[in-house]
Structure 1
């Protein structure tokens, strides 16, 4: 329920017929996680806090640096050296005392992404590196979370919404990350200070539309903006990977899937008894596999169809991933193409 003070605070947006009291109630009930409290995160956080999003999570392990201040407008000179997530939270609480804010000052990685994301309805990615972007995307797909995405480079920015109602995802438009030397960071190439404000505000707008159900979301569309010439374009794109999940917000579950789970204890027993009969396939991304694995071969889920020849014949296949969602999809994909038993690791490699 909105308090009397909140009704006054949000009155100018609540009089919009598209939003109204119902829409404001949705904002109040929403739980949003912001990845990164830098150039993009600052305007996103300010506008979502001002709009009345009820719970906001901020994850960022960085500290405020003097070189941030020309574009990361949440921070003041006296904030230099402070954790960005905590400094941002302090500012946002002063902006709107009616919202809840949770901070995570550790670095996002394959070990904590699922547990953190699970508590939020909407994920917003303002990260500045490709490994994090792919991790965020893959975790959102695995947990069926909508992802609002933004990026900036010199004078240009991009905005899109991924995995919205099982729609297109980040990998559909950017299948593979560029090499490190191909994309320099802001410290090397520079960025004009107003650009993250423009792109971040557009990201906040998409988040509000997703939460309240108004307007047309940038799902299957990539908005680009050039700050030098003011040119803004929207490009359409379609999912390039087979959609293994059902429509109408129903994901594959134990009850409606023919795939068979195996727990970690039984897998270890089978490997000890007959190791030559089992082929363990980790379908996470290479960086996840290198960070932590329980053995086997690594073939990312979205490369399975092209790399089927690498799977040995006559084996019991056991697919594994971080939590079991991707491994279930892998088992479903391979089953019609493989003669033999196919299992997936229940609860994923983290259960080990």
Structure 2
């Protein structure tokens, strides 16, 4: 014995130390690269290890790779969402670049989905990308959405919004929806928590809030109304944020249990509005729960998977066509080339004519045809028939003295794309500016876009 130890203890220890040590299995749930890449959010209690695993196992579908989709995709990829599905049938145009931050000059003419995939792979190669270079429709919506956990609506038409919302209700998917125009935006999470149609515990859908689409003539696109890049960027970032919150609050970190959105407490549904030039910029509007009798999510729902896939649910017809407008007869319209020729002949004959540009003043100031007068469409559309007015407005009086003056000279109405000009022609005739048919009033088909393409390539494009 040596100090209470067996005499041969040294031999036992030496023998043990000479044996190869069995390495403990690697039990770290994330790779070293993932720990390093996501470390700044891993140490937040709102995310932590379990939240990061949920993000890694999540599949998110982004429908629309434009002004909303680009910032949402960038931040979802940066956060480590495992699979991103990208849906868009368009190509990159130069006019996209001031707000669609994933695209570059080198990608002009390239599919937006390809451009976005390249950006994501350079940002985070750990993210898997699924590409859908198509427009979403009743034929493909259910099949496209089914594999995903959360859907982002980053589109810009009422028809697509109704279609996507109906599909998410049918498939039990949360829908993070946003929109932006000019300096304002709004954000809502629909069908959250997702429940079968008729379950009042489920979140309201798009139809609950907007049971009827807006009139087609009231729908304004970014191309017509304009958009400030940071505004649509803010709304896209908020979509990414709400998606991350929904994912990290959901169920288990196990991919097989991810779809359980029932576990976390969900706040009452709200719509967040943003106005860049207001104070405060953000406002939250409390929304009502699911609407009784909603065609999509109530117990009396009439929207079915069969209706979507069969084509009997015609979303374009339901919402109405916004473009192109076709309300004038061929005799009331001339092409850009015909107007250019008429403009030359009228000038050579010593006669005159009138050109009325019905774009808003800010667009008229950018560029306009020489000799045209500006009567903004917002003013035109607000005018009522003079015979029903007790006091005629100054604008009406000015129009009467301007349009058709000089003994019946023809009046050509022009706008940017040839849509508002048709409505204006109809309104001018209703107001009697054509003298009961004595003065020709018509529009230039295709507007100033056609003028640039067919007559004067130097005319600015915006």
The answer to whether TM tops 0.5 is yes
The change in CA–CA distance for 1:283 and 1:86 in structure 2 (over 3 A counts) is: same
Partner of 1:25: 53
Say if 2:85 is the partner of 1:57. Answer: yes
Say if 2:171 is the partner of 1:121. Answer: no
The CA deviation at 1:240 is: 4.3
The change in CA–CA distance for 1:206 and 1:289 in structure 2 (over 3 A counts) is: closer
Instruction: Say if 2:89 and 2:111, in contact at 8 Å, map to a contact too.
Output: yes
Which runs of no fewer than 5 residues in structure 2 stay unpaired?
1-28, 194-201, 251-263, 319-462
Say if 2:203 is the partner of 1:167. Answer: yes
Partner of 1:232: 282
Partner of 1:193: 229
Say if 2:207 is the partner of 1:207. Answer: no
Instruction: Say if 1:161 and 1:219, in contact at 8 Å, map to a contact too.
Output: no
Partner of 1:311: none
The CA deviation at 1:242 is: 3.5
The change in CA–CA distance for 1:137 and 1:23 in structure 2 (over 3 A counts) is: same
Distance 1:7 1:162 in 2: 33
Distance 1:110 1:84 in 2: 22
The CA deviation at 1:229 is: 2.2
Distance 2:139 2:133 in 1: 15
| SS of 2:84 mapped into structure 1 | strand
Distance 1:205 1:241 in 2: 27
Higher strand fraction (1 or 2): 1
Instruction: Say if 2:203 and 2:290, in contact at 8 Å, map to a contact too.
Output: no
The worse-fitting range, judged by mean Cα deviation, of 101-110 and 167-176 is 167-176
Question: Rg larger in 1 or in 2?
Answer: 2
Instruction: Say if 1:161 and 1:218, in contact at 8 Å, map to a contact too.
Output: no
- Report how many aligned residue pairs link the two structures: 259
The CA deviation at 1:17 is: 1.2
Distance 2:293 2:135 in 1: 30
| SS of 1:171 mapped into structure 2 | helix
The CA deviation at 1:107 is: 1.0
Normalising by structure 1, report the TM-score.
Answer: 0.69
| SS of 1:164 mapped into structure 2 | coil
Which runs of no fewer than 5 residues in structure 1 stay unpaired?
245-251, 253-281, 300-352
Distance 1:290 1:123 in 2: 19
Instruction: Say if 1:164 and 1:219, in contact at 8 Å, map to a contact too.
Output: no
Say if 2:342 is the partner of 1:292. Answer: no
Tell me which of 159, 184, 193 is aligned to 2:220.
184
Runs of 4+ residues over 3 Å off in structure 1: 214-219, 282-285, 288-291
Q: How does 1:36-75 map to 2 (within 5 A)?
A: 36-75=64-103
Distance 1:143 1:290 in 2: 13
Distance 2:57 2:159 in 1: 31
The worse-fitting range, judged by mean Cα deviation, of 222-231 and 155-164 is 222-231
